[in-house]
Structure 1
Amino acid sequence: MKIILTGATGVLGSQIMYEILELFIKESIDGKLILISRSKKKRTALNRINNLLTSTYAPQFLKDIGTTKLDEYIEIVDTDLDSVKESFSNKIDGAYFIHSAGYVNLSTDEEHRDKIFEENTKITKFILNNFHHFIKKFIYIGTAFSSGERSGIVDNDFHNLGFVPKHRNAYENAKFHSEKFVAQRCKTLGLPYQILRPSVICGKMLSDENKYFISKYMVFYLLAKFFYFAAQRKTEQENVRFAINKKTGLNIIPVDYVAKVIVSVFRRDDIQQLNIVSHKSLNLVKGLELIMKEVGYNNYTIIEDTPDFEYQNTTEKLYYESIGKHLKPYLVSSAKQYNTSLLNSILEIPVLDDETFTQLIRYAKLHKFKDVEV
């Protein structure tokens, strides 16, 4: 079995890499994992991958086996994704292609729109158009938020809706556009495909080994990070107002669960689209309360959304001119839930309750919200 994986140094991609290697070893599969990665600063792609395999946060099972044995399963193509050469094609003949690399950016700024769209669509189109002759199946890792602004129950199929989803930012739109391209192109080619969509990814939860670890703090973690450091200032805490739809929530899913599901289903022919999500979204008002309590910022107010919002102090201004303006569209969104019956039949979905969410924030706080550089 041959598997190509992009994004292996990323938050999710690294966990997928670990799971694939465990699959090869535990099921005695004669496999080859081809990683398309690139050098970064003074670190080669090989250095970066080996650092991940020997990291404190790597699964102990793999560390016990050691990089000498693991390297027998791995082949690294050290290049940018849009620079992969035609000569690469003879290496990937008959391979499953898992495209996990992406440019996550929730910016609502117009000047970033084109870059976000290009980074998330151009590469996908390049890969599929250039290498579809050789691969066995194309697995695209999207996002559950490419569903856009929706309400009610959201099913797994995003492409036979009878309407075009309304997206909140360029990232959602780009991922949806990429999905649509993958589905249409693969159908035209007769190439099997899957679109797998995690919701907001949080730290690991499936075992006690490196529990709550995540290599990069994003989305709700960024809000916690902002107010954690704001609370450390010696000046008096200024009141910050949050416009929130009190009925809506944020769907959060552990990174190790997402990786296990992907590796469980990529060979299944009966699944073309799957949302990898929690049964229930965390209510945003409750989530904000838990975050602020844990980071020690107590001066905030929940308000109705208003078009004539003006900053009332420096902290509020700093928040809304940084991450706040990008998070706000999610805070005021309509309430929705996902249909998780198929997902739960594949692998039981872990429960993310108030205590677990607090532990995720506490772990991040203890590590000063510092991302792991690879």
Structure 2
Amino acid sequence: MKIILTGATGVLGSQIMYEILELFIKESIDGKLILISRSKGKKTALDRINDLLSSSYTPQILKDQGLEKLDQYIEIIDTDLDAVQENFSSKIDGAYFIHSAGYVNLSTDEQHREKIFDENTKITKVILNNFHHLIKKFIYIGTAFSSGERTGIVENDFHNLDFVLKHRNAYENAKFHSESFVAQKCRDLGLPFQILRPSVICGKMLGNENKYFISKYMVFYLLAKFFHFAAQRKTEQENVRFMINEKTGLNIIPVDYVAKVIVSVFRRDDIQQLNIVSHKSLNLVKGLELIMKEVGYTNYTIIENAPHFEYQNTTEKLYYESIGKHLKPYLVSSAKQFNTTLLNSILEIPKLDDETFTNLIRYARLNNFKDVNV
């Protein structure tokens, strides 16, 4: 079996890499994992991958194998995604192609739109156009938020709807455009494909090994990080008003669960679209309360969405001119839930209760919200 994986140094891609290697080991598969990765600074792609395979957060089953054994499963193509050449054809011929690389940026700033599109949609098109005739199946890792602003129950199919999706930012739009291209292109070619969409990814929750670990803190973690450091200042805490729809929630799913589901289903022909999400979204007011309690910031107020909003202090201004303006469209969104019947039949969905969410934030706080850079 040959599998191509992009984004192996990323938050989700690294966990997918771990799961594929575990699959090869546990099922005694004569497999080859081809990683399209690139050098970064003084580190080659091989250096970066080896760092991931020999770290304190590498799964024990892989550490027990050792780098020499693991390297026998791996082939690295050290290049940018849009620069992969045809001379790699023999290496990737007949492989499953899992495209996990992406550029997560929730910015609503117009000047970022082109970069967000290029890093997500343009590169996806280049890859599929160049290599569709060589691969066995194309698996695109999207996002559940490419559904955009929705209400009610969201099903797995985003491409046979009787209405046009309304996206909240360029990232959602680019990811949806990408998966639309993948679906149409693969249907035209008769190439099997899957679109797998995780919601907001949090730290590990399955088992006790490296529990709550995540390599990069994003989305709700960034809000926690902002107010953690705001609470450390010696000055008095300034009141911050949060515009929140009190009925809506944030759907959060553990990174190790997402990776296990992807590796469980990529060979299945009966699944073309799948949202990898929690049964129930975490209520945003409750989530904010748990975050602020854990980071020690107590001076805040929940208000309704205000079209004309003037900052009342420096902390509020800093928040809304940084992460706040990107998070606000989600905080004021309508309430929705996902149909998780199919997903739960594949692998039981872990429950995210108040205690677990607090533990996720506590883990990040105790690690000073420091990202792992490879």
Deviation digits for residues 161-186 of structure 1, max 9, x if unmatched? 11111000000000000000000000
Q: Could you say which residue in structure 1 is the equivalent of 2:318? A: 318
| Amino acid across the alignment from 1:301 | T
Q: Could you say which residue in structure 2 is the equivalent of 1:20? A: 20
How well do the aligned residues superpose, as a CA RMSD in angstroms?
0.3
Structure 2 residue matching 1:19: 3-state secondary structure: helix
- Distance of 2:255 and 2:35 partners within structure 1: 19
- Distance of 2:216 and 2:123 partners within structure 1: 22
1:230-241 matched pairs, under 5 angstroms: 230-241=230-241
Q: Can you give the 5+ residue segments of structure 1 that lack an aligned partner in the other structure?
A: none
Structure 2 residue matching 1:82: 3-state secondary structure: helix
Deviation of 1:14 (Å): 0.2
- Distance of 2:88 and 2:196 partners within structure 1: 25
Q: Percent identity?
A: 87
Q: Could you say which residue in structure 2 is the equivalent of 1:229? A: 229
- Distance of 2:373 and 2:52 partners within structure 1: 10
Alignment of 1:349 with 2:349, yes or no, is: yes
TM-score of the two chains, using structure 2 as the length reference = 1.00
Q: Could you say which residue in structure 2 is the equivalent of 1:188? A: 188
| Amino acid across the alignment from 2:244 | I
Deviation of 1:153 (Å): 0.2
- Distance of 1:168 and 1:50 partners within structure 2: 38
Deviation digits for residues 3-38 of structure 1, max 9, x if unmatched? 000000000000000000000010010100000000
Q: Could you say which residue in structure 2 is the equivalent of 1:254? A: 254
Structure 1 residue matching 2:111: 3-state secondary structure: helix
| Amino acid across the alignment from 1:6 | T
- Distance of 1:342 and 1:79 partners within structure 2: 37
| Amino acid across the alignment from 1:151 | T
Alignment of 1:364 with 2:355, yes or no, is: no
Residues 156-165 or 288-297, more deviating? 156-165
TM-score of the two chains, using structure 1 as the length reference = 1.00
Deviation of 1:253 (Å): 0.1
| Amino acid across the alignment from 1:235 | T
Alignment of 1:108 with 2:115, yes or no, is: no
- Distance of 1:89 and 1:286 partners within structure 2: 51
- Distance of 1:344 and 1:283 partners within structure 2: 21
- Distance of 1:249 and 1:88 partners within structure 2: 45
Q: Could you say which residue in structure 1 is the equivalent of 2:117? A: 117
Structure 1 residue matching 2:97: 3-state secondary structure: strand
Structure 1 residue matching 2:49: 3-state secondary structure: helix
1:228-307 matched pairs, under 5 angstroms: 228-307=228-307
Structure 2 residue matching 1:54: 3-state secondary structure: coil
- Distance of 1:44 and 1:117 partners within structure 2: 27
Alignment of 1:158 with 2:158, yes or no, is: yes
Alignment of 1:51 with 2:32, yes or no, is: no
Structure 2 residue matching 1:186: 3-state secondary structure: helix
Deviation digits for residues 311-330 of structure 1, max 9, x if unmatched? 00000000000000000000
1:75-86 matched pairs, under 5 angstroms: 75-86=75-86
Q: Could you say which residue in structure 1 is the equivalent of 2:211? A: 211
Deviation digits for residues 137-161 of structure 1, max 9, x if unmatched? 0000000000000000000000001
Deviation digits for residues 348-367 of structure 1, max 9, x if unmatched? 00000000000000000000
Deviation of 1:337 (Å): 0.2
- Distance of 1:338 and 1:252 partners within structure 2: 12
Alignment of 1:337 with 2:309, yes or no, is: no
Deviation of 1:90 (Å): 1.3
Which segments of structure 1 move beyond 3 Å, counting only runs of 4 or more?
none
Deviation digits for residues 289-333 of structure 1, max 9, x if unmatched? 000000000000000101111000000000000000000000000
Q: Could you say which residue in structure 1 is the equivalent of 2:71? A: 71
- Distance of 2:219 and 2:278 partners within structure 1: 16
| Amino acid across the alignment from 1:40 | K
Alignment of 1:201 with 2:162, yes or no, is: no
Q: Could you say which residue in structure 2 is the equivalent of 1:29? A: 29
Structure 2 residue matching 1:75: 3-state secondary structure: strand
Deviation of 1:123 (Å): 0.7
Deviation of 1:118 (Å): 1.2
- Distance of 2:181 and 2:82 partners within structure 1: 17
- Distance of 1:164 and 1:135 partners within structure 2: 32
Deviation of 1:195 (Å): 0.1
- Distance of 1:97 and 1:310 partners within structure 2: 49
| Amino acid across the alignment from 1:285 | V
Q: Can you give the 5+ residue segments of structure 2 that lack an aligned partner in the other structure?
A: none
- Distance of 2:140 and 2:55 partners within structure 1: 27
| Amino acid across the alignment from 1:223 | L
Structure 2 residue matching 1:77: 3-state secondary structure: strand
Deviation of 1:89 (Å): 1.2
| Amino acid across the alignment from 1:283 | N
Deviation of 1:371 (Å): 0.1
- Distance of 1:119 and 1:269 partners within structure 2: 28
Structure 1 residue matching 2:53: 3-state secondary structure: helix
- Distance of 2:16 and 2:241 partners within structure 1: 39
